[in-house]
Amino acid sequence: MATEMREPIESGCPDPFQYMHPTMRRNFGQWAYHEHPRPGVLLHVSKYGDKIWTVKAGTQRILDLFTLRKLCDIADEYSDGYIRFTLRSNPEFFVTEEERVQPLIDALEAAGFIVGGTQNSVTTLSHTQGWLHCDIPGTDASGVVKAMMDELIDEFRNADMPNRVHITTSCCQINCGGQGDIAINVQHTKPPKINHDLVANVCERPSVVARCPVAAIRPAMVNGKPSLEVDEKKCICCGACFPPCPPMQINDAEHTKLSIWVGGNHSNARGKPTFQKLVASGIPNNPPRWPEATAIVKRILKAYKEGAKDWERINEWIERIGWPRFFEEVELPFTKYHIDNWRGARKSLNASAHIRF
Ligand code: SF4
Ligand code: SF4
């Protein structure tokens, strides 16, 4: 494992080379090709003939100490002491001899981890990074991940989707919200409820006024105290005022819903990046298993699996068949809320860093 530790700095991630498997370090930037011998395993071959097999497993996303120790024990015994985590909290292990691949897979499966998540599979849902310590969640993003992956376990284990599927979740409506082939995002459905007794003590009122993308917030005196008021006709229930001013409570058990968006793609490898589009809204935020949202995600995946051509991503499949057919295939109603006809957006949405009052 790591021999020399770099001096800590106050920000940024540590130098990754010290944690890298020696075969990876030696061949960094020198890989000739890679193969996918079975779901959950990738073989990389370098220009110099070195080979390394990477075995990927799934976890429950938020990891407790005991699970981490178990994963590290497996790495010590089967993977030369090396382990790394992907963006989606999937641990990856490395071996340089083919005959060590199966014992590693057996050890992972015996410990309850699922091997998979490579190539044309549904890989583990990602959720927003700050969930455990964030101040504005409207749902438990990590719980949605666990509940949905329990249902999609076979799609993780068997790489038999038309192409890779990235699913994301968000726990509020405005910040690190998901952008993926399928995104499950929070949707607030009512304007904030203001606790006027607290605003003057807690909120910097000009910052809160400036935060609103539609200029719906005004300073006001209420019961003789400086406070704020919201023009509810203008408010789009985005929740942007809640982080700088917690007394503007927007999330609650009844009005905080989930929405599902499809077709987002960051990559520009084969085509331009694409924005996701809303396909279902007002879905109950229903812990601990979120059955309504999960059922819709499964319908979308089933239609995609049956209808897409090989290697078509979800956005490419929808572009080919068209949105009317997509809504038919996934049996979702097309409503007026799917049409972006809001004329105020061009002039009033905050599209720059300028502060407006
Ligand atoms: S999505 Fe929102 S609530 Fe969740 S971690 Fe990001 S900023 Fe916080
Ligand atoms: S910031 Fe968003 S939620 Fe708050 S008042 Fe403005 S539109 Fe409504």
pLDDT (tens digit, 9 = 90+) per residue, 18-34?
999 999 999 999 999 99
- Ligand 1 center–CA 163 separation, angstroms: 28
Which residue is closest in CA terms to ligand 2's atom 7? 235
Distance, in Å, from the CA atom of 85 to the CA atom of 93, rounded to the nearest integer, reads 9
Q: Return the pLDDT at 129.
A: 66
Q: Return the pLDDT at 136.
A: 84
- Ligand 1 center–CA 12 separation, angstroms: 20
pTM: 0.88
Q: Return the pLDDT at 63.
A: 85
Position 291 pLDDT exceeds 60: yes
Position 357 pLDDT exceeds 60: no
Which residue is closest in CA terms to ligand 1's atom 2? 172
pLDDT band at 17 (very low <50, low <70, confident <90, very high): very high
Which residue is closest in CA terms to ligand 1's atom 8? 134
pLDDT tens per residue across span 99-154: 999 999 999 999 999 999 999 999 988 887 666 778 888 888 888 888 999 999 99
Atom of ligand 2 nearest to the CA of 234: 7
pLDDT tens per residue across span 218-266: 999 999 999 999 999 999 899 999 999 999 999 898 999 999 999 988 7
Atom of ligand 1 nearest to the CA of 129: 5
Cβ(203) to ligand 2 under 6 A?
A: no
pLDDT tens per residue across span 31-49: 999 999 999 999 999 999 9
Q: What's the chain look like in SS3?
A: CCCCCCCCCCCCCCCHHHHCCHHHHHCCCCEEEEEEEECCEEEEEECCCCEEEEEEEECCCCCCHHHHHHHHHHHHHHCCCCEEECCCCCEEEEECCHHHHHHHHHHHHHCCCEECCCCCCECCCECCCCCCCCCCCCCCHHHHHHHHHHHCHHHHHCCCCCCCECEEECCCCCCCCCCCCEEEEEEECCCCEECHHHHHHHCCHHHHHHHCCCCCEEEEEECCEEEEEECCCCCCCCCCCCCCCCCEECCCCCCEEEEEEECCECCCCCCCCECCEEEEEEEECCCCCCHHHHHHHHHHHHHHHHHCCCCCCHHHHHHHHCHHHHHHHCCCCCCHHHCCCCCCHHHHCCCCCCCCC
- Ligand 1 center–CA 185 separation, angstroms: 10
Q: Return the pLDDT at 33.
A: 97
Identify which of 182, 160, 162, 183 has the alpha carbon closest to the alpha carbon of residue 173: 183
- Ligand 2 center–CA 279 separation, angstroms: 23
Average pLDDT over residues 6-11: 69
- Ligand 1 center–CA 118 separation, angstroms: 27
Pocket test residue of 230, 252, 348 for ligand 2, highest count of atoms within 8 A of CB = 230
Is 39 in contact with 54 (CB distance < 8 Å)? Answer: no
Distance, in Å, from the CA atom of 291 to the CA atom of 301, rounded to the nearest integer, reads 15
pLDDT tens per residue across span 321-332: 999 999 999 999
pLDDT tens per residue across span 308-356: 999 999 999 999 999 999 999 999 999 887 877 666 655 555 555 665 5
pLDDT tens per residue across span 157-194: 999 999 999 999 888 888 776 678 999 999 999 999 99
Q: Which residues contact 123 (CB under 8 A, 6 or more apart)?
A: 88, 90, 117, 156, 164, 165, 166
Cβ(174) to ligand 2 under 6 A?
A: no
Instruction: Please tell me which residue, 2 or 269, carries the higher pLDDT value.
Output: 269
pLDDT tens per residue across span 52-95: 999 999 988 888 999 999 999 999 999 999 999 998 889 999 99
Which residue is closest in CA terms to ligand 1's atom 3? 137
- Residues in contact with ligand 1 (CB, 6 Å cut-off): 128, 130-131, 134, 136-137, 141, 170-172, 175-177
Q: Return the pLDDT at 11.
A: 74
Is 152 in contact with 298 (CB distance < 8 Å)? Answer: yes
Q: Return the pLDDT at 58.
A: 94
Pairing verdict, β 91-95 and 51-58: antiparallel
